[in-house]
């Protein structure tokens, strides 16, 4: 297969970690007989410096024309004092909107080799966990009507949550499709005992579940879910939830892995073409020092192969190479913990992953 991949290196450690993922993808392409064409475009602070715009039109056009997009990270202190419409983050929100990305997939998995970094109790850690958060990204309370007004007891503020059946249907399908690629279990999280949007959410999820008889589906209230995530995370396979609940729970889920520098993500729209990126930021404190952990970006590239290109064996190959590196006790500085292992750099970690592909 031949695929065109747009590269948004961005700022800080972005260029280093994206280049690592490209090296891994090049080896995978050779091994499996594919051709990947990489097209770099500017975004974030780097784009501001060169064009005065965090998201040049050329970048939007390039991403829309590509088969998929791989992003590093944007932002840094250099641009922190710029006006809001000229901030690097504007580039990120802009490209998500331009590509119509309404699904955010965030896997959170405990690597046995990194179990000492997990903040949970030893008996919970021993059970392990490997879950996929599916968060609705463009609806709900973050996009509803909001404002200030004069209330019965003086000045007050309000935010409103609205979800259409169409918005819930499409995120439900994304969750069930994702479950089909995993352990075929979906837990839908809502607050249907209180919120009308949650009741519509639940009804719609149940209706779409009928289209996926091979996937089991249950509901869980969000307050219980927050507790269950730290009590018994092994019970979760795919979790689907609204924008705000997903924002909070996906951070909780990533924290319990104990290794945020390892976690990939995908943002998808009507097609799985999507935008793939690590969940961490541009780490300006270590930029340009060959200290960044490239694994989150390498695993984001693996997600791209699995979701955008249906290349399951190729994705497995990358994920197994990462497992092997960790099992062999190879670490970048962020995942050394209390192990006493001497850390290696971004370039060397990339070479170690490639050796094991």
- Catalytic residues, by residue number, are 142, 191, 223, 247, 251
**Residue 239 or 295: which CB sits closer to ligand NAD?**
295
CA pair distance 20, 7, nearest whole angstrom: 12
- Out of 21, 74, 114, 317, point to the residue binding ligand NAD (CB under 6 A): 74
Token representation of residue 126: 């021993």
**In the bound complex, what is the minimum distance in angstroms from residue 293's beta carbon to ligand NAD?**
3
**Residue 188 or 267: which CB sits closer to ligand NAD?**
267
Question: Is 274 a residue that touches ligand NAD (CB under 6 A)?
Answer: no
Question: Is 76 a residue that touches ligand NAD (CB under 6 A)?
Answer: yes
Q: Return the range that interacts with ligand NAD (CB under 6 A); candidates 201-209, 285-293, 298-306, 312-320.
A: 285-293
Q: Which of residues 311-340 bind ligand NAD (CB under 6 A)?
A: 334
CA pair distance 62, 66, nearest whole angstrom: 6
Helix boundaries (H) for 187-338: 196-209, 222-231, 243-255, 295-307, 312-327
Q: Return the range that interacts with ligand NAD (CB under 6 A); candidates 173-181, 215-223, 243-251, 274-282.
A: 274-282
CA pair distance 330, 352, nearest whole angstrom: 8
**In the bound complex, what is the minimum distance in angstroms from residue 98's beta carbon to ligand NAD?**
16
The closest of 93, 97, 13, 9 to 47, measured between CA atoms, is: 9
**Residue 185 or 290: which CB sits closer to ligand NAD?**
290
Question: Is 292 a residue that touches ligand NAD (CB under 6 A)?
Answer: yes
- Out of 3, 280, 306, 331, point to the residue binding ligand NAD (CB under 6 A): 280
**In the bound complex, what is the minimum distance in angstroms from residue 162's beta carbon to ligand NAD?**
26
CA pair distance 294, 345, nearest whole angstrom: 9
Place of tokens 């994304």: 174
131 and 254 in contact (C-beta within 8 Å)? no
Q: How many residues bind ligand NAD (CB under 6 A)?
A: 20
CA pair distance 321, 311, nearest whole angstrom: 16
CA pair distance 180, 93, nearest whole angstrom: 29
Q: Return the range that interacts with ligand NAD (CB under 6 A); candidates 135-143, 208-216, 240-248, 292-300.
A: 292-300
Helix axes 14-32, 346-355, angle to 10 degrees: 10
**In the bound complex, what is the minimum distance in angstroms from residue 92's beta carbon to ligand NAD?**
6
276 and 264 in contact (C-beta within 8 Å)? yes
Length of the chain in residues, anyone? Answer: 357
Question: Is 75 a residue that touches ligand NAD (CB under 6 A)?
Answer: yes
Question: Is 281 a residue that touches ligand NAD (CB under 6 A)?
Answer: yes
Residues 6+ apart with CB under 8 A from 278: 17, 72, 73, 261, 263, 264, 265, 296, 297, 299, 300
Q: Which of residues 247-266 bind ligand NAD (CB under 6 A)?
A: 261
- Out of 28, 286, 308, 315, point to the residue binding ligand NAD (CB under 6 A): 286
Place of tokens 């990126």: 277
Question: Is 175 a residue that touches ligand NAD (CB under 6 A)?
Answer: no
Question: Is 284 a residue that touches ligand NAD (CB under 6 A)?
Answer: yes
Residues of this chain that interact with ligand NAD (CB under 6 A) are: 13, 73-76, 89, 92, 261, 277, 280-286, 292-293, 296, 334
């Amino acid at each position: 297969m031949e695929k065109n991949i747009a590269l948004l290196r961005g700022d800080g450690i972005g260029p280093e970690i994206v280049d690592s993922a490209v090296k891994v993808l090049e080896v995978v392409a050779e091994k499996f007989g594919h051709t990947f064409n990489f097209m770099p475009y500017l975004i974030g602070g780097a784009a501001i410096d060169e064009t005065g715009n965090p998201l040049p039109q050329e970048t939007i056009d390039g991403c829309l024309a590509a088969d998929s997009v791989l992003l590093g990270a944007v932002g840094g202190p250099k641009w922190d004092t710029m006006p809001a419409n000229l901030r690097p983050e504007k580039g990120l929100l802009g490209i998500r909107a331009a590509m119509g990305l309404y699904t955010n997939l965030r896997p959170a998995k405990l690597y046995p080799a990194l179990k000492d970094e997990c903040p949970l109790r030893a008996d919970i850690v021993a059970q392990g966990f490997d879950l996929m958060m599916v968060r609705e990204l463009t609806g709900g309370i973050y996009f509803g009507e909001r404002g200030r007004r004069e209330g019965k007891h003086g000045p007050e503020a309000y935010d409103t949550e609205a979800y259409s059946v169409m918005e819930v249907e499409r995120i439900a399908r994304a969750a069930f499709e994702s479950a089909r690629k995993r352990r075929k279990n979906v837990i839908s999280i809502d607050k249907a005992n209180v919120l009308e949007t949650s009741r519509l959410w639940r009804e719609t999820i149940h209706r779409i579940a009928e289209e996926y008889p091979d996937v089991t589906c249950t509901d869980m209230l969000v307050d219980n879910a927050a507790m269950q995530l730290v009590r018994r995370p092994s019970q979760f396979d795919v979790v689907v939830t609204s924008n705000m609940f997903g924002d909070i729970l996906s951070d909780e889920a990533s924290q319990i892995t104990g290794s945020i520098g390892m976690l990939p993500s995908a943002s998808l729209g009507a097609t799985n073409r999507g935008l793939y990126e690590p969940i961490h930021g541009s780490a300006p404190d270590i930029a340009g020092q060959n200290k960044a952990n490239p694994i989150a970006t390498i695993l984001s590239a693996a997600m791209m192969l699995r979701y955008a290109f249906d290349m399951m064996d190729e994705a497995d190959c990358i994920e197994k190479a990462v497992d092997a590196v960790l099992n062999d006790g190879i670490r970048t500085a962020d995942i050394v913990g209390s192990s006493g292992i001497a850390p290696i750099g971004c370039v060397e970690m990339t070479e170690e992953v490639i050796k094991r592909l």
